[in-house]
Amino acid sequence: MRLSFRLLNVFANEGDPFSGNPLCVFEDAAELDEDQMQGLARQFNLSETTFVLPPDGEHPEADARVRIFTPNYEMAFAGHPTLGTAHVVRDLFDAGDRVRLSMAAGVIPVRAHGDEWVLTANEGAVEREFEPGEIAHTIGLADGDLLGPVQQVSTGSGQIIAQAASVEAVRRAEGDATKMRRYAGMGTRGGETLVYLWAPTGTDTVEARALFTQGSAVVEDPATGSACSNLGAWLVAQGRTAVSWRVHQGAQVGRPSTLDLTVSDEGVVQVGGLVRQVGAGAVHL
C-alpha cells in the first residue's frame, strides 16, 4: 500500500522555513485502520499527524473527514492540524477558500486568504476552576505568578488556561511531570495535562507557552491552535469580547510561531495563521 503525505509548517512566520508547528497530512486514509493511523503518527513522531477521509453520513456537508493523532492517542480537535489539513484539502479537492472539516469535535469551518488560514472554533465551556497557586507550583512558578481565574476550558480539547502576572514568569516556567499528571483525565488532551501560560506584551500582543505531559516527561508545543481557541473562550467567559490579539509562541523551543486570535462582539472565537508546505513523499506499508 502506497500512502502519499505532505509536510507543512502551521502558524509559520513569513520568510522563516523553520518556524511554526510541523504537521504531517496523509492525503487518503480510506484503507487504513485505527492501529495503522496510530502507528504512522508514532513513526513520524510529530505533535500531530492527520488522515484525510471521505465525509461520512453524519456530516455529509463536510469537504472531508479528518482524524488527528499524536504519537500516543487520537484527538477530537486540534488547531494547527485543522488549518494544515484544510490547506491540503483545498488543493486535493479544489475545494476553494472555504473548507469544512468533519472531526470528532464536530464540523469546523476554515477559510483562507492565500496561505493564511482561519478556523472558527466551537463554542467553549469552562470545565473546572483551580487555585492559581495550585497550578503555578506544577509549572515551577510561585504564589502570585498566576492571576485568576485559572480554568480548564474546552472548545473541543480541554486545557488549563493560566494568565501569568508577567512575561518574565511565562519565560521561566518549567513543568513538573509528576505534579502535572495529578490533573490527567480531567478533560485534558488524551488523559494528559496541558497548561497554556500567557501574558500580554502590549495592547494587542501576547506571549504564550504550552507545557504538556507526555508519558513521564513534560514537553513544549511550538504553536497550539486549540489552546489559543480556548484562550478566546476563556476571554468570553470573563465577558471580554471584541478582541484582536497576535499571539507569539514557540521561541523557547526554537520554533517561533505566530497565531492570530480574534473574539467578535458576539463572542465568536477565531484563530488563524500562515500555512506553508515544506515537503511531500510516500510511505509504503
Residue 223 has pLDDT above 60, yes or no: yes
- pLDDT number for residue 188: 55
Joined grid coordinates for residue 208:
504564550
Let me know if the fold of 2-120+273-284 is the same as that of 125-272: yes
Give the class (CATH, top level) of 125-272.
Answer: alpha beta
Residue 106 has pLDDT above 70, yes or no: yes
Residue 146 has pLDDT above 70, yes or no: yes
* Model confidence pLDDT, tens digit, residues 43-70: 999 999 999 999 998 999 999 999 999 9
Cβ-in-10-Å burial (0-12, 13-18, 19+) of 265 comes to exposed
- pLDDT number for residue 190: 66
pTM comes to: 0.96
Which of the residues are catalytic?
48
Residue 186 has pLDDT above 80, yes or no: no
* Model confidence pLDDT, tens digit, residues 129-138: 999 999 999 9
Residue 74 has pLDDT above 60, yes or no: yes
Query: How far is the C-alpha of 75 from the C-alpha of 157, rounded, in Å?
Result: 7
CATH superfamily of 2-120+273-284: Diaminopimelate Epimerase; Chain A, domain 1 (3.10.310.10)
Joined grid coordinates for residue 201:
506584551
Domain boundaries, the chain: 2-120+273-284, 125-272
Query: What DSSP letter does each residue of 149-192 carry, written as one string?
Result: EEEEEESSSBEEEEEESSHHHHHH----HHHHGGGTTSSBGGGS
